[in-house]
Structure 1
Amino acid sequence: MAKKKEKKEELRVGVFICDCGSNIAGHLDCAAVTEYADSLPGVVYAKENLYTCSESGIVEIQKAIREEKLNRVVVASCSPRTHHPLFSSSCKQAGMNPYLFEMVNIRDQCSWVHM
């Protein structure tokens, strides 16, 4: 019996880079990180935000999920210990599988090490 080929879902990744005021942007070139993220395979949307965890930042993520048909989201910002539930539930509310959301802690692991 022949096996059915599974149809692969096209990757449509959105990457959101947070300045966190000067906490991150004071030590990292967030514009360059955003530009690099935008050049990666599968990334169809990349945006730098002043505060991604703010209400306007969350609205922007949800709008991008809907308008750009994102099926993966990466947020590069603060600690996932404090912010993962907020971003994960926001992705779910916008219709995306929350298990296809990932956080990168660039504040603690990339910025604050230079303070």
Structure 2
Amino acid sequence: MEDEKRIGVYICHCGLNIAGTVDVEELAKYAATLPNVVISRDYRYMCSDPGQDLIKNDIKELGLNRVVVASCSPRMHELTFRKACQSVGLNPYLYE
């Protein structure tokens, strides 16, 4: 039997790169209403150590088994977030 999906959604401001165009707080509020989303957060620089720590702590404390990060290009930070997930025991391929 498949585990219940417990999804964390993390939306990065990317300074003003994203936040200058998108209402990041409203998007995070909306994401929180989606099925199986346990937590939805926004943070100024999700790729920073404190941003990654937010994700890692939520995985551990809330039992997340899926992570979605809306940020700048995956080319720049996909590996960063995969490693953060893997460091706390989440399959890095359950990050999108």
TM above 0.5: yes
Residue type at the aligned position of 1:84: E
Deviation of 1:24 after TM superposition, in Å, equals 0.6
> For residue 61 of structure 2, what is the aligned residue in structure 1?
67
Which residue of the other structure, out of 79, 87, 109, is the alignment partner of 2:81? 87
TM-score when normalising by structure 2: 0.98
Which residue of the other structure, out of 14, 38, 42, is the alignment partner of 1:20? 14
Secondary structure in structure 2 of the residue aligned to 1:23: coil
CA RMSD of superposed structures (Å): 0.6
Which residue of the other structure, out of 79, 83, 96, is the alignment partner of 2:90? 96
* Alignment deviations for residues 56-92 of structure 1 (CA, whole Å, 9 cap, x no partner): 0011110000001000000000100110000001100
* Alignment deviations for residues 30-53 of structure 1 (CA, whole Å, 9 cap, x no partner): 011101110000000100001000
Secondary structure in structure 2 of the residue aligned to 1:16: strand
Which residue of the other structure, out of 26, 51, 70, is the alignment partner of 1:32? 26
Residue type at the aligned position of 1:80: P
> For residue 50 of structure 2, what is the aligned residue in structure 1?
56
Secondary structure in structure 1 of the residue aligned to 2:75: helix
Task: Please give the alpha-carbon distance, in whole angstroms, between the structure 2 residues aligned to 1:8 and 1:85.
Answer: 26
Task: Please give the alpha-carbon distance, in whole angstroms, between the structure 2 residues aligned to 1:28 and 1:95.
Answer: 32
Identity of aligned residues (%): 49
Secondary structure in structure 2 of the residue aligned to 1:24: coil
Q: Which of structures 1 and 2 has the bigger CA Rg? A: 1
Secondary structure in structure 2 of the residue aligned to 1:67: helix
Residue type at the aligned position of 1:66: K
Residue type at the aligned position of 1:64: D
Secondary structure in structure 1 of the residue aligned to 2:17: helix
Unpaired segments ≥5 residues, structure 1: 1-6, 103-115
Deviation of 1:8 after TM superposition, in Å, equals 2.0
TM-score when normalising by structure 1: 0.82
